[in-house]
Amino acid sequence: MSRPLWLEVVHKVERTIGEPVESAVRSDTYFDVVARVTRARRKGINLVEGVSRRCLHLVNLPAGTDLRRVREQLGRIERRLDEITDELAGG
């Protein structure tokens, strides 16, 4: 079944806008901007996390970064336990 006229128009308009947008997001400039924005975002997050960490540590509470570190350590312990389990099963 053919598409109604209004839908044909929407699809044509979308392609008219879409093609230049797609070529723009494949350009060097776009990826430079993405990289800069990502770095700026990370700096911002680090800044906010640093402040909140100090505040939380002042009242003797763990911050998100502390929890993350604990989870990373748990991951390492988990992997080591898996290795030991395999060694025991193999032996």
Partner 1 sequence: MAPPFVPADLIGRVTRDVERSALRARNGVRYVRGTHRPKLGVTPKDVVWRRGRAQLWRYRGGPVRHGPPVVIVHSLVSRSYILDLRPGTSTIEYLLGAGLDVFMLDWGVPDERDADNTLETYVDGHLPRALAAVRRETGATEVTLAGYCLGGIMAMLYAAGPNGSDVRNLVLMATPIDFDAMGPMVAALREGRLEVEDLLDETGNVPADALYSGFYMLAPTTEIAQKATLLEHLWNDEFVEAYQAMGQWTRDHVPFPGAAFRQVVQQLVRENVLTTGAIRLGDRVVRLGDVRAEVLVAMAERDGVVPAGATEPALGLVGDPRRRHALYLPGGHVTFGAGKAARRHTMPRLTQWITSHSDARPDPEEAGCKSAASSPQTSPPSNGSWRGSPSTIGPS
- Which positions touch partner 1 (CB under 8 A)? 3-4, 7, 10-11, 13-15, 17-18, 21-22, 25-26, 28, 31-32, 34-35, 38-39, 42, 45, 49, 65, 68, 71-72, 74-76, 78-79, 82, 86
DSSP 8-class letter at 27:
S
Owner of token pair 């430079």? 32
- What minimum distance in Å lies between the beta carbon of 24 and partner 1? 9
Q: Determine the length of the chain.
A: 91
Q: SS3 of 58, please?
A: helix
Q: Are 52 and 63 in contact (CB under 8 A)?
A: yes
- What minimum distance in Å lies between the beta carbon of 2 and partner 1? 12
Cβ-based nearer residue to partner 1, 46 or 55: 46
- What minimum distance in Å lies between the beta carbon of 15 and partner 1? 8
User: For residues 52 and 63, what is the distance between their CA atoms, to the nearest angstrom?
Assistant: 7
